[in-house]
A and B are shown apart, each in its own frame.
Chain A
Amino acid sequence: MTDIKPNIRLKKRYRAEVRFKIYCASALAIGMIILLTLISSITISAIPAFTQINISIDVQLEDDDIQTFKENPTDVSWRTIQKKSIYKMFPEITSRSDKRELNKIVSTGAYLEIEKFYNRNRDLIKQTNKIYVPAADDIDLIIKNLTDRDLPENMRTISDKQLSYLDTMIEEDRIKKSFSWRLFSNGDSREPELAGLKGGIVGTLLTMFVTLIISFPVGVLAAVYLEEIAPKNRLTDIIEVNINNLAAVPSIVYGLLGLAIFLNYMNMPRSAPLVGGIVLALMTLPVIIIATRASLASIPPSIREAAYGVGASQMQVITHHVVPLALPGILTGTIIGIARAAGETAPLLMIGMMAFIVDIPTGITDKATVLPAQVYMWANNPERSFEYLTSAAILVLLVILIVINLLAIILRKKYERRW
């Protein structure tokens, strides 16, 4: 062999190695850039949704209102009180149409804040109180500079008159920007300034609870049977192929199954986390079974032999040694399956969980919706504020999924392979 040839080959090989590393690194970089772009664009458009513009109005209850409030608080017409208080702030406005426009500056749900205030502070009933109420969604956008107020009047939802009233309020220092706790404490609403995610968050948690309770024990036991106990024959081969196929079935098919069996045949409640959880559990089962089987199969046979060798029964071998050692993999698979289920909408469409539900569910048979369904519905709403709210809802869903995945990593680290 000559001296030059291997040298050239060596250099060529080094260059090929460097190129290979660059390819791999750039593949990773592309993925990271796409992910970062996605998350940052969502975060940026979600920011306005986390603050809320409030307007203070001076409320003085009249004598008959006080009387009614003392006798029967639910009969008080808070809506009328709201209107009167606002009109009092602008005594110069007299025409009906102007008054109506003035009243539209605050949210249609503003009276709820007044009601809440008086129910909490019964001793302040006789004096004039400064109460902050949410601004209407288009006013909210004007103050956050998300709507251009220099547009011609016919191109914006706010009239010039409303703008002048608003400017007076700003001069009187009645406008306050605060963190929007409503986003987490309210249920859904048609009004963007009143809409919150609590219904979706609670619905998601209840649904995931049902999913986990069903899919984890059933999935793990089925996998243990297939991997550790069942004889390997044609029947178990067929079952295995079918489980792998089920993992690839489009999720809406599970929804159809849920509709046909749980709702139409078994008459379970519509739109309930109970049914949603069962449907998602069916969808998650193959994922858990496959992950558990892979994890059980990776336990070295020497551990099983050691346990059998000292006279452990099959159940003891499985419960004392194999399953505890496979637990990290089982938990990772379960949490990945649950996280996938938490982001699912299609199967829930079929069983009525993709619905406008204002009340916050208190149990698994209440009507409920889930976060991804709420994202979808908010994205369909015409009001511009929902654009920001949708991003905020996506962000909340992402945070929940990140928490679930973090949990998976922590559990895996905790029970790391020890043989």
Chain B
Amino acid sequence: MPDMPDENYKIKTNDVTVDYGDKRALHGINLNIQSNQVTSLIGPSGCGKSTFIRCLNRMNDLIMGCHVNGSILIDNTDINLPETDIVELRARIGMVFQKPNPFPKSIYDNVAYGPRIHGLTKNKDDLDHVVTKSLKRAGLWKEVSDRLDASGLSLSGGQQQRLCIARAIAVNPDVLLMDEPCSALDPIATAVIEELINELKERYTIVIVTHSMQQAARLSQKTAYFHLGEMIEFDDTSTIFTNPKHEMTESYITGKIG
């Protein structure tokens, strides 16, 4: 791992374990994520990469019987403490899910929902501005600018996913977590989203879970390989894909396991 001064890490996790009841899903993950980079998490199904990403905005709190231990520092503050305000945390750490899940409301209301509940805007003009800006950043503005009142569900799958990205960035987060954002999309929509992720990393720290190794290779600067709840290897993406240190990583990326 390259030597970096501490403050350049946006997210630092130290010995993070996750238990679902009696079953341990993550065994002591230590992973440091840098600002304004794309970090991808790869590994076979059930390896714990989604579980890990959901620790970063405390989404696992919603799951009955799930216990997260260890420290997760974001901007040097441990978010895994009971006194953390989860609402405020989730506004800072946006999330995009595997299946596009716009609210069954209009396109405008989908994007405006976050700013509204957090009281980020003072008036209608302000809100309009935030909605427009978010849709532009998500690359959706041109397609929907004339039908903001249409239902978010009337959009195609790829457009819905970009709407979800617009919704996530409308509350102005620092970090974007993406849990297999393209797995439900066709290759063309995937290409659009990937291009978007590339642009978004200028502003946000992005952590992406993906099943597609090509996607990890194309998009990310850092890659972590997970296997059965353990992080096997974490390095620059180029190193992982050309010269992995660990045998298991090599087997996975060459298609022998997974």
Contact = CB atoms under 8 A, between A and B. Distances in A.
Nearest to B88: A311
Nearest to B118: A311
A418 B62 contact: no
A419 B151 CA distance: 10
A418 B154 CA distance: 10
B103 A309 contact: no
Interface stretch (B89-97, B196-204, B208-216, B226-234): B89-97
Given A306-B164, A419-B153, A313 B87 contact: yes
Interface string B98-137: 0101111000000001100110000000000000000000
B168 A309 contact: yes
B118 A306 contact: no
A312 interface: yes
A321 B99 CA distance: 18
B59 interface: yes
Contacts of A231: 64
Nearest to A324: B104
A419 B104 contact: yes
Interface in B48-99: 57, 59, 62, 64, 87-91, 94-97, 99
B94 to A, nearest CB: 7
Interface string A298-325: 0010111111111111001000110001
B102 A305 contact: no
Contacts of A320: 113, 117
Contacts of B59: 305, 308-309
A306 B114 contact: no
A325 B91 contact: no
A232 interface: yes
Nearest to A417: B104
Interface in A206-233: 231-232
A306 B102 contact: yes
A306 B90 contact: no
Contact of A306 (B57, B91, B97, B170): B97
Interface in A228-264: 231-232
B167 A310 contact: yes
B171 interface: yes
A418 B113 CA distance: 17
Contacts of A418: 104, 151, 153
B101 A302 contact: yes
Nearest to A306: B101
A309 B90 contact: yes
Contact of A311 (B90, B104, B153, B164): B90
A148 B61 CA distance: 80
Interface residues of A, number: 21
Interface string A395-419: 0000000000000000000000011
Interface string A91-112: 0000000000000000000000
Contacts of B114: 310-311
B168 A232 contact: no
Contacts of B91: 310-311
Nearest to B100: A302
A308 B90 contact: yes
Interface string B25-49: 0000000000000000000000000
Contacts of B96: 309
A309 B96 CA distance: 8
B94 A309 contact: yes
Contacts of A321: 103
A309 B87 contact: no
A106 B177 CA distance: 87
Contacts of A311: 87-91, 114, 117-118, 171
B97 A305 contact: yes
Contacts of B117: 310-313, 316, 320
Interface string B165-178: 00110110000000
Contacts of A300: 101
**Best-surrounded residue of A306, A309, A321 (most CB of chain B within 10 A):** A309
A305 B99 CA distance: 11
Nearest to B89: A311
Contacts of B99: 302
Interface centre among A232, A304, A313 (most CB of B within 10 A): A313
Given A303-B103, A316-B117, A310 B62 contact: no
A374 to B, nearest CB: 45
B168 A310 contact: yes
A185 to B, nearest CB: 47
A66 to B, nearest CB: 73
Given A310-B90, A311-B90, A325 B97 contact: no
A80 B59 CA distance: 86
B171 A310 contact: yes
Interface in A314-362: 316, 320-321, 325
A306 B103 contact: yes
B97 A302 contact: yes
B64 A232 contact: yes
B180 to A, nearest CB: 13
A320 B88 CA distance: 18
For A303, A304, A308, A325, the residue with the greatest tally of chain B CB atoms inside 10 Å of its CB is A308
A309 to B, nearest CB: 4
8 contacts: A302-B101, A306-B97, A308-B62, A311-B89, A311-B171, A312-B113, A312-B117, A325-B104
Interface of B: 57, 59, 62, 64, 87-91, 94-97, 99, 101-104, 113-114, 117-118, 151, 153, 164, 167-168, 170-171
Interface of A: 231-232, 300, 302-313, 316, 320-321, 325, 418-419
Given A311-B87, A313-B117, A321-B103, 19 more contacts: A302-B99, A303-B101, A306-B102, A306-B164, A308-B90, A309-B59, A309-B168, A310-B90, A310-B113, A310-B167, A310-B168, A311-B90, A311-B118, A312-B117, A320-B113, A320-B117, A418-B151, A418-B153, A419-B153
